[in-house]
């Protein structure tokens, strides 16, 4: 195939990417460097809008809090997804009869919209009629029947666990596919040499899964930093209760569409630009680190 024919095939995809993704991103980036009077663009102000995010209220208080929640959300989701997902994928890999059926069951929540998942768990965790607290009371664990989404100490962790529950099917499928590419001769040779299942898993399987673990890690980071639908469904646009479930995306939403501020476009665009830099920089850094680990393992 000639180079001209190759460009002809990818031209439609590049056009769609440029119109619907690249152009809006560059436009939002340019908005961050201007002062706005409603929807009318004013003078060029350079980094003034970005400086406001760290010096003016309510951004000076809400921005670090929301960013910290994003980091906790990423760390918690990553811990649950990588540990449980990897363990379940290993168990399913060794189970030949019902592997496909169980993989499908684990993947079903992943196919449902996060906003639907959020509202569903809001009903399940209701302190008045939710079945979760009713079940806890029925088995004698009344002290555990808490207002899960109404207590600032537990609300964020509920968001983490619900997200991990929904997305755990993705690492299960990815790790299962990666395990399918591991030659059986390696694990069989380890067992012949007297290695236990635990030793085989940690000494042979896990090192060979580093590329898949890296992919899950980077994608989890991106999804966690831009999470909106699930936190919005569970805590609303204000990150209730008392901002315990506030995220960067929710702060952006409030600034752009609910604040009524004169310069809402400028400050919200500055916030979007800052979030893009964090996501892009974090993803690039994580990719380079993981590639270095892969090279060391391969060596």
| Vertex 236: Cα angle to 54 and 168 (nearest 5) | 95
Q: Is the peptide bond before 102 cis (omega within 30 degrees of 0)?
A: no
What predicted TM-score, i.e. pTM, was given to this entire model? 0.89
Q: Encode pLDDT of 41-92 as tens digits.
A: 888 998 999 999 999 888 999 999 999 999 999 999 999 988 899 989 888 8
Superfamily (CATH) of domain 47-117+151-298? MetI-like (1.10.3720.10)
The one-digit pLDDT tens for each residue of the chain (299 residues) are 577 888 888 899 999 999 988 898 888 889 999 998 888 888 899 899 999 999 988 899 999 999 999 999 999 999 998 889 998 988 888 777 788 888 888 888 888 999 999 999 999 999 888 999 999 999 988 888 889 999 999 999 999 999 999 999 999 989 988 888 888 788 788 888 777 878 888 888 888 888 898 889 999 999 999 999 999 999 999 999 989 999 999 999 999 998 888 889 999 999 999 999 999 999 999 888 888 887 777 64
By the 8 A CB rule, do 54 and 138 touch? no
Residue 44 phi, psi (nearest 5): -70, 125
């Amino acid at each position: 195939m000639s180079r001209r024919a190759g460009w002809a095939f990818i031209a439609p995809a590049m056009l769609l990417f440029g119109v619907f993704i690249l152009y809006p991103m560059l436009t939002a980036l340019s908005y961050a460097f201007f002062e706005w009077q409603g929807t009318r663009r004013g003078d060029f102000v350079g980094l003034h809008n970005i400086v406001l995010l760290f010096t003016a209220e309510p951004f000076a208080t809400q921005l670090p809090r929301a960013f910290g929640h994003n980091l906790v959300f990423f760390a918690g989701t990553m811990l649950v997804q990588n540990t449980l997902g990897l363990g379940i994928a290993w168990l399913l890999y060794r189970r030949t009869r019902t592997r496909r059926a169980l993989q499908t069951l684990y993947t079903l929540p992943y196919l449902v919209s996060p906003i639907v998942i959020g509202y569903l768990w809001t009903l399940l965790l209701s302190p008045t009629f939710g079945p979760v607290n009713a079940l806890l009371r029925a088995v004698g664990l009344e002290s555990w029947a808490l207002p899960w989404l109404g207590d600032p100490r537990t609300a964020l962790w509920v968001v983490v666990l619900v997200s991990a529950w929904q997305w755990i099917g993705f690492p299960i499928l990815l790790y299962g596919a990666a395990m399918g590419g591991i030659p059986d001769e390696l694990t069989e040779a380890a067992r012949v040499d007297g290695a236990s299942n635990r030793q085989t898993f940690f000494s042979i399987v896990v090192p060979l899964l580093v590329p898949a673990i890296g992919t899950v890690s980077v994608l989890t980071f991106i999804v966690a930093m831009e999470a909106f639908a699930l936190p919005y469904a569970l805590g609303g646009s204000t990150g209730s209760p008392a901002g315990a479930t506030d995220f960067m995306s929710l702060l952006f939403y409030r600034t752009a569409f609910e604040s009524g501020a004169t310069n809402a476009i400028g400050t919200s665009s500055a916030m979007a630009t800052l979030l893009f830099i964090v996501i892009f920089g974090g993803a690039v850094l994580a990719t380079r680190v993981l590639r270095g680990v892969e090279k060391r393992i391969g060596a």
